[in-house]
Structure 1
Amino acid sequence: ERETPMLRLAVGRRLLCAPRLRRALCVGQRELEAGLALLDEGRTGPAIDRFALAAQGGSPEGNFFLGLAYDGLLGEDSRGEPWVEPDAGAAFRCYTRAAD
């Protein structure tokens, strides 16, 4: 994989991927946007999967939303259970990565 330097410009909730930004950040941003759209549609489980991919791609926002999931703050599934196993340590790590 060729890495080219790029610039990152945040515009609202979107990231404009310019030629100086690593491809992973652009992928992370696409996953974040897909996750936000799924969350808006009420499809929380698939949204969390996308937030995890965004976090892996280096998205601070993806890490933030993944932290919310680990904190149980993205609601419950049809059985009344959190979408992911609550894990305060994992949530803390996600929030820390989001803040970096």
Structure 2
Amino acid sequence: MSRLALGTMILGAETSESDSHAIMDRTHEHGIDFFDTADVYADGRTEQIIDRRFAQGDGRRDSTLTRLDELFPPPGPTAPNRTRSVRLVTSSFSPCDA
């Protein structure tokens, strides 16, 4: 895991999906494989953007550690899908030889 992390709060909030994917790709090109996210960023869109980029293949999902923060109580019926959050995070982990 890299010593630096990509903070993903702006993905989907201040950047388009294509720009977000470009940021993620550039981050990987520079050896940063740790993404810090939260289920409340951009009302859950950040996680969806990350998930769609990883779904495109090329091994990024397997080579990226994603940390999920759940700091806020669910804001009601429009709360981000926590099942999706857990699936996204757990799919970012791969078994290690311990």
Compute the TM-score of the two structures, normalised by the length of structure 1: 0.36
Larger radius of gyration: 1
Higher relative contact order (CA 8 A, sep 6+): 2
Name whichever structure is richer in strand by fraction.
2
Higher normalized helix content (fraction of residues): 1
TM-score, with structure 2 as normaliser = 0.36
